[in-house]
Every structure is written in C-alpha cells, then in structure tokens.
A and B are shown apart, each in its own frame.
Chain A
Amino acid sequence: MEPKQPIINLEGIYYSYPGTPPILKDLGLTIFKGNRIGLVAPNGSGKTTLFHIIMGLLKPSAGRVNILGKDRQTEQDFKDVRRRIGLLFQDADDQLFSPTVLEDVAFGPLNLGKSKEEAIATSRKTLEFLGLDDFEDRITYKLSGGEKRLVSLATVLAMEPEVLLLDEPGNALDSGMRSRLIDVLNHLSITFMLISHEFDFIAETTERIFSMEHGKLFQDDEVHVHTHRHSHRVGRQPHEH
C-alpha cells in the first residue's frame, strides 16, 4: 500500500507577533484525510495563530507549509487553500458580514464562481442540512449566539470544503445547540480539526487529541472513555451529563 499523502503537513513552523517572543516554535503538524482531531490548550498558546497560518492569513518566519499536496508560500497558493479548507472563526460576528443569512451563506459560493442561481441553491441546501431552512431571510445581527454559530458553519460548509478548521465552536452554546452541532459534525464525513476547552465536546466528536505547549503540538493518546466524580446542586433530581 502506498503511504498516504498528508492533507496538511507543517514542519518547523516559527511565528511571533511583532514585538513579542515566538508563540510557535518549531511546530509540526500532520493531518491525513479522514482524521478528526481535537486541540486542547490554554488561552494564548497559539491555537488560533496556527489556524491562521494554515489559511495563509499569517506568514511564518520559518518553516514549511504543505497543504493538499503542495508547498504553499504565495498569496496565490493560499487562494486555492481557502477554496478547499474552511475556517470557522471564534467570534461569529466577524464571520457574518452580510445583512441576511442567505446572502452570507451565498457569499462563499459566489466567490467560487458559481452563478446566482447555483449559489442560492447550494446555500439553501446547506441551510437545510443544518436544520436552518427557515432562517434564509433572517437578519444576521438579530440571531442568538447559538444561531449565529450554526449560520457561520453554514457559510463555511456552503463552499463544500475538504477540510474544516473550527475555532472553539462549542463556545457559548446552549445544550440544545451543542447537541445539534455534535450531530452535524458526526454526520459530516470530512477531515476536521477543532479547538475546544470542553473535553466532553471533544470526546464526542473527535478520535484523537492534540495539546499545545511551548509553541509545539503534542499528540495525546487515543481518547479514553472515563467518568469523573463530581457534585453539584440539585444532584438528586434525575439528570444527564
């Protein structure tokens, strides 16, 4: 069997924000097609920076960025990356910049060169897949936090990416929305990497976990199912975790 080509391969990446010590130091990352990876790390460790480097929004001071089989260096290289990898931003308000939901979801397909009709059709299909079919004409800023999150996901999925990068998707979601999101992620047969603080969320959606320390990635072992003992109020009432 031929060795599989990694879909994302970073080697020796260094990055520092102007005037600060390097936040990524000799970082390496290899993701193969079909991987579902979780990334857990404290705030400020460089997780978002890593995603931005993959998408070509930031340029590392050293290292090799090889995505979907090609080395990527120029803006033109990354334009191709952005068509094929989707990034879900941490702040949904940064990602929803059109007045209505339909226009926002159609933004990606239109930029990919689809005609208006095709873009609208793809957008509707994506919204339906996420259970958001009656959200078409809703005004983006009036949505709730969880709704905004799902709509942002729609805007990214509408481009039919091969890989998804999700920056804290579970943040500030109520349990209903969380389970919807977990369902969606489990139904999508797509390579993805997601950042989260919540172990439960990661356990339910990913197959392996990475952590980040001192500017490098470390792969933890396979996810183990285990229970924690804890206590909280109203514990005697029947409930689930």
Chain B
Amino acid sequence: MVRERNHRAPEAKAPNHRGRKNDDGRQTCNSQPATRNLAQKTKHKTLNTKPNPMITEPFTVGNSFVHRVDPRLKLVFAVMLSCIVAVADSLSTLFAGLAIALLLIVLARLDGWAVLKRLAVVFGFMAFIWVVLPLTYPGVPLVEVGPLQLSRPGVLLCLKITLKSITILSILIALVATTTLSAIGNALHSLGVPGKLVYLLVMTYRYIFVIENEYQRLIRAARIRGFQPGTNIHSYKTVAFLTGMIFIRASARAENVYRAMLCRGFNGEFHTLGPVAPYTRNKAFTVLTSAAFIIILGLEIWNQSSP
C-alpha cells in the first residue's frame, strides 16, 4: 500500500493544489499562497470595534496637580464649568473658557498627542456643520465663494459650537478622565447619587473588559473561518449572532456573579470605601476653578448686558 503511494506521479495530485515547481522540476503542494491571500483580504476589511483592541485609560495615571485633587471637587467643577460654557453666548466668554480648559490640561501634565487624538472624535461632526450651516443659515453673507454664500451668522454659530465642544471635551479629559472609575464611583456616592446607580456604573465598568475579551475571541473565531464583513445579509446575520451571543453569555455570567455576591453576604446594601488616596491640592484647585468660574460668569453677564 505504502509502496504504491510513493510511486504515484506528482502530476496525479489533486488539481486544486496550488503548487510551485521546485528547482528540480518536481511539483510540491504548497498551500501558502492561498492562506496569504485570505489573511490579506481579512486585514483589508476587518470588523472594527473602535478603539481596537484594548480600551485604555491613559490619563488616570499621573502625579500632577490635577491628579492630587479630591475627585468630588473635580466632578463638581467639571459639571459647573461645562454647564456655563454650554449656555454662554459671547465669543470672549467662550475663548476664556477654552483658555481655562487648556490650562487644566496643561496642569494635568497629559500627553499632548493623546489629548489631540481624543479631541479628534468630534472633528467629523464639526466638519459636517461647518459645511452645512454657513450655507443654510440665513443672514448677511460673510464671504461669497462663487455661487455659494457663507452667511456671517452661520459662520459665527459654527465657531461658537466648535469652541464649546472643544472646551467641554477638554474639561472632561482634564478633570474626569484623570480619575479612576472606582474613585469616581466613590465620589458620586458621597455626593449623594443613589447607591443603586453608582453600583450599576461600577459593575458595568468592571465587566466591559471581560465582555470585550469574549467578543474578541468570538470575532477571531469567525475570521478564522473566513468571515469577511460586507454590505450583505450574511454579514448582518453574523453580526446579529455575535451580538446575541454576547448578550447570552453576559446574562449567564451575571447569574454567577450574583451568586458570588450572595456568598459574600450581599444583602441589598451598597457600600463604598470612600476616598482612599490622600489628596493634597484641594485648596489650590478650589481657588483656581472658583476664580475661573467667576471670570467666565462675569464676562458673560457683562457681554449680555452691553449691546
């Protein structure tokens, strides 16, 4: 039997074996070109989960002025400053707000590129409104580009929106993203947010990474079997099954986690440990942000009252 196989001529191999002829003319079965193409194809149109593959928190690590402030103060001021910037209307107020937000980022000693990358998420929407609003907002034209009129109020509105957006996002990065979520949970609880909601926040956060991991394993299994996402029913069906799987596994895990909690005596009460790290820059921070708030409020009132 074995002898017969050895004597088989190379050309008698199955026709769909992709092969190269060796130097001595013998054809070898070489499946590498086929797999290489598949790998290339999947790399070209991969199923994206932004940001891929790890969800990171680069800003929580640090020892700057901002990192040494009690998270409760940071949260309260973040909300206050954001609110006032969101409803302000005069340009000078908004520029002042932006300056303060950028100052906070500098004080937090964050990596400039990382911050820019995070701010870039709004650029798409900003670009969209800059294209649409000046053309559609009625008013005195600021500039005429051929047949198109870019109205002054339109451009002004776009400018204000952009300023507000970047300012508030920067505040978010400088004050909220520099705190770990566990500290945020603690802070919210001591600020009076109901225990159930804080607990929900912390629990959701905890399992995002576990579930993301499970998802990566599922999508890898799909890709290995040649899945290539496209605009067709098969792709949507596959995504739907993946999503269903994620939900089912999450539900099963939730049962187990709940049992683990029962075993550790959980009885419906939610406890937090309170702020653990020593926070040394509270006073300076309060002074700085209160001053900033007063300046912005003052500018806005002054601008609103004068024509």
**Residues of A that sit less than 8 Å from B by CB:** 52, 55, 57, 79, 82-83, 86-87, 89, 91, 93-95, 97-100, 102-103, 106-108, 110-112, 116, 119-120, 137, 140-141, 155-156, 159
Contacts and interface: CB of A to CB of B under 8 A. Distances in A.
A111 B209 contact: no
B210 A93 contact: yes
B274 interface: yes
A79 B182 contact: no
Contacts of A83: 265
Most buried by A among B259, B261, B262, B264: B264
Given A82-B265, A111-B266, A140-B206, A95 B273 contact: no
A116 B206 contact: no
A159 to B, nearest CB: 7
A103 to B, nearest CB: 6
A107 B206 contact: no
Given A89-B259, A97-B207, A98-B182, 8 more contacts: A97-B257, A99-B205, A102-B276, A107-B261, A108-B264, A110-B271, A156-B264, A159-B264
A82 B273 contact: no
B256 A99 contact: no
A99 B182 contact: yes
Interface residues of B, number: 29
A79 B267 contact: yes
Contacts of A106: 273
A89 B256 contact: yes
B185 interface: yes
A86 B263 contact: yes
Interface in B199-256: 202-203, 205-207, 209-210, 253, 256
Q: Is the interface of B mostly helix, strand, loop or mixed?
A: helix
Nearest to B212: A141
Contacts of A52: 259
B181 interface: yes
B144 interface: no
Q: Is the interface of A mostly helix, strand, loop or mixed?
A: helix
Contact of B210 (A57, A98, A116, A141): A141
Contacts of A57: 259, 262-263
Contacts of A159: 264-265
Nearest to A91: B256
Nearest to A142: B209
Contacts of B253: 93-94
B267 A141 contact: no
Given A98-B182, A141-B206, A89 B260 contact: yes
B130 to A, nearest CB: 40
Interface in B173-188: 180-182, 185
Contacts of B181: 99
B260 A116 contact: no
Contact of B209 (A103, A119, A141): A141
Nearest to B181: A99
10 contacts: A55-B262, A79-B265, A89-B256, A89-B259, A89-B260, A97-B203, A97-B257, A99-B181, A108-B265, A111-B271
Contacts of B269: 111
A82 to B, nearest CB: 5
A55 B263 contact: yes
A108 B266 CA distance: 8
Nearest to A57: B259
B214 to A, nearest CB: 10
Contacts of B256: 89, 91, 94
A55 B271 CA distance: 23
A86 B272 CA distance: 22
Q: Which 4 A-B pairs have the closest CB atoms?
A: A111-B265, A99-B182, A94-B256, A110-B271
Given A120-B273, A141-B209, A99 B265 contact: no
Most buried by A among B182, B263, B271: B263
A155 B266 CA distance: 13
Contacts of B202: 98-99
A153 to B, nearest CB: 13
A97 B256 CA distance: 11
Interface in B274-299: 274, 276
Contacts of B274: 116
